[in-house]
Structure 1
Amino acid sequence: MKAMRFHAPGDVRLEDVPEPECRTDEVKIRVRNCSMCGTDLKTLRNGHHMISRVTTMGHEIAGEIVEVGSGVAGNWAPGDRIQTISNIPCGQCYECRRGWTQICQNQASMGFQYDGGFARHMIVPAAMLRAGGLNRIPDGVGFAEASAAEPFSCAINAQEQLGIEEGDTVVVFGAGPIGCMHVRIARAVHGAGTVILVNHRPGRLAKATALVHPDHAVDSSVVDVVDAVRDLTGCRGADVVITATPAGQNQQQAVEMAARNGRISFFGGLPRTAPTITLDSNLVHYRQLHIHGTNGSTPEQNRQALDHFAAGTVRADDLITDRIPLDDGLRAFDVLAGGDAVKVTVEP
């Protein structure tokens, strides 16, 4: 079968590999959609500390079961439509015992330690099954949308920390799929008032604005975004700021534009080559700001994402702008890097 395999930074190959065999404590799936995100692009370019061998990439996975190991518990059967978590908690460490499975210190991930979903078939490892990370796709939710449940669940995780209240002004940096999801969650789930979407690429900003309809769209390539937000809020600033970008400048601007008692999510990680920022800590002190890191999601938050899709509270199917067959899968990296696509999915 074909698979997109990471060999080294800058070296991802579409190659023939043997179809995986299912052991007694595993489940084998036919991958129908595996969507791509910025982490995949960063891994292509720079590698990843969690990859120590040649590995099939892909961690936003949806498909159908083709085989269930004889020792697998639960009511699973061939033909079941499923979505998988990406980050697999160990269930044993201090963080897991506290229920903080998204920051498990022994976390493993699909597409990194385990072969992922950029292939026709994939094995769901026993560790994922133990963690409760295999989820049924509800009726009415397609495979492509279900594959977006993983990034959607990460946005759910971030916003649960922020205490968004009805009527809050929310600024989202980044007009990619995560930024679009943040706009929708802030409104539909938490009742945000004014939502402001910020991006430095006008083409992507226009496309995202047409999809998720923020109250204001700010092109940060032509205006000072801090001044723009203060103007839009009567000089008060934003109650909540989410930086769904890999840009340190946006994290600094988030602190500068936050209102008193503002909550900030550093959602997007920074490049390993530039992981530090400079911020005015007096703003944090005197405005009583709350800065949150965020990492991944829990199995339960994946299920919440699927439930939102099924209920129509928030959808993601229309955010998928590019569907690329696996035989042409390497092109997906170029499409994602081009900056005009919103969500890219690979279809094995």
Structure 2
Amino acid sequence: MLVARFYAPGDIRLEQAPEPTPGPGQLKIAVANCSTCGTDVKISRHGHHHIRPPRVIGHEIAGRIVEAGEGVTGWAEGDRVQVIAAIPCGKCVECADGRFTVCSNQESMGYHYDGGFAEYMIIPEAVLAVDGVNRVPDNVDLAEASVAEPLACVLNGQEIAGVGEGDTVVVMGAGPIGCLHVRLARAKGAAKVYLVDLNRGRLDMSAALVEPDAAICGEETDAVAEVLRLTGGRGADLIITAAASGRAQEDALRMVARSGRISFFGGLPKDAPIIQLDANAVHYKEISIFGANGSSPAHNKRALELISSGEVPVADLITERMSLSDVHKAIETVAAGTAVKVTIQP
């Protein structure tokens, strides 16, 4: 079978590998879709400290069950499934408190275990142990199901930040995550949602799909001034930084309303994680700043429900479908920002 293996930064190889056999407690699936994201770009360029090469990467996974290993019940050949990416241990203090997204022993598909850039793959016992395999609703195709994982992360971030009825929300970053944030905020009852990006082409492409109340190009205008203008000088109730940008995080503090909230959703580059933050603004305006990291198995289930119900449509966000042999092109397309969501169909 064909796989895409990471060996080192700049070295992802398409190779033939033996078709795997599930061991006890495992499932084998035929991968139907493994969508790509900015994390795949970062891995391809910089690697990751949790990845011991060679490793089959890809973590936004959906497919059909081929075989169940010894001791696995409740699944049959042909069942359509979506697989979590972040795997909590289920045993640490954080997991015992239900805080699975900050599990101190978390593992991940495509990092600790071979991922979805392959024709077939093994779902490890650790995933089944935390109920991390989800049945795909009949009205959801497997390309859409693969987008449940990033939507689950967005759902986690918005739950933490408390997006709700009547909020004015600013989403900074018009990539696929930003698009999902816009749609989920609307589903949660936000009154106004503004989308900000530096890249005019990406902003226009995404805005045409998700139709924010305003699309603000940060290269052409002062985004902070424009948000303040749109809100009558008050600022927005919630700013979501859906971009790996320290400048976006700093600007968020300048455009948020009194008693507002900021979600640092996008992580910063490891070599530039420090920003300037006006602590007095946080203090006197009673601003809340939240982190957001990944998703839990339960978030993945709810994300599939949101897709199935039509509350958060994702089909139109998949603007490129490529074969596994085009994995390098797919990753570079994501890096260039010329597509919203790219999915690999092995």
If the length of structure 1 is used for normalisation, what is the TM-score? Answer: 0.98
Corresponding residue of 1:257: 255
Residues 14 and 330 of structure 1 are in contact (CA less than 8 Å); yes or no, is this contact kept in structure 2?
no
What does the per-residue CA deviation read over 1:139-183, in whole Å, with 9 as the maximum and x for residues that have no partner?
110010000000000000000011223111100001111100000
1:183 corresponds to 2:186: no
What does the per-residue CA deviation read over 1:167-210, in whole Å, with 9 as the maximum and x for residues that have no partner?
1110000111110000010011x200111000011111111111
Corresponding residue of 1:137: 136
Greater Cα shift, 137-146 or 159-168? 159-168
Corresponding residue of 2:77: 78
Residues 164 and 185 of structure 2 are in contact (CA less than 8 Å); yes or no, is this contact kept in structure 1?
no
1:203 corresponds to 2:163: no
d(CA) in 2 for partners of 1:233, 1:340: 31
Question: After superposition, where does 1:1-348 map in structure 2 within 5 Å?
Answer: 1-73=1-73, 75-188=74-187, 190-348=188-346
d(CA) in 2 for partners of 1:165, 1:147: 26
Residue 240 of structure 1 aligns with an amino acid whose one-letter code is L
Aligned Cα root-mean-square deviation (Å): 0.7
d(CA) in 1 for partners of 2:165, 2:23: 49
Residues 13 and 330 of structure 1 are in contact (CA less than 8 Å); yes or no, is this contact kept in structure 2?
no
How far apart are residue 70 of structure 1 and its match? 2.1
What does the per-residue CA deviation read over 1:88-128, in whole Å, with 9 as the maximum and x for residues that have no partner?
01011000000011111100000000000000000000000
d(CA) in 2 for partners of 1:163, 1:327: 41
Residue 272 of structure 2 aligns with an amino acid whose one-letter code is A
Instruction: Return 5+ residue gaps in structure 1 as ranges.
Output: none
How far apart are residue 302 of structure 1 and its match? 0.3
Percent identity reads 55
d(CA) in 1 for partners of 2:249, 2:56: 32
d(CA) in 1 for partners of 2:279, 2:81: 45
What does the per-residue CA deviation read over 1:251-284, in whole Å, with 9 as the maximum and x for residues that have no partner?
0001111101111110001111111111111111
How far apart are residue 67 of structure 1 and its match? 0.1
Residue 11 of structure 1 aligns with an amino acid whose one-letter code is D
Greater Cα shift, 26-35 or 163-172? 163-172
How far apart are residue 16 of structure 1 and its match? 1.1
Instruction: Return 5+ residue gaps in structure 2 as ranges.
Output: none
What does the per-residue CA deviation read over 1:191-246, in whole Å, with 9 as the maximum and x for residues that have no partner?
00111000011111111111000000000011111111001000000100000000
How far apart are residue 9 of structure 1 and its match? 1.1
SS in 2 for 1:203: helix
d(CA) in 1 for partners of 2:53, 2:207: 40
d(CA) in 1 for partners of 2:100, 2:165: 28
4+ residue runs over 6 A deviation = none
d(CA) in 2 for partners of 1:162, 1:58: 28
Residues 65 and 79 of structure 2 are in contact (CA less than 8 Å); yes or no, is this contact kept in structure 1?
yes
SS in 2 for 1:146: helix
d(CA) in 1 for partners of 2:229, 2:60: 38
Residues 5 and 56 of structure 1 are in contact (CA less than 8 Å); yes or no, is this contact kept in structure 2?
yes
d(CA) in 2 for partners of 1:24, 1:110: 18
d(CA) in 2 for partners of 1:153, 1:295: 11
SS in 1 for 2:209: helix
Residue 340 of structure 2 aligns with an amino acid whose one-letter code is V
Residue 46 of structure 1 aligns with an amino acid whose one-letter code is H
How far apart are residue 53 of structure 1 and its match? 2.6
SS in 1 for 2:215: strand
How far apart are residue 334 of structure 1 and its match? 1.4
SS in 2 for 1:32: strand
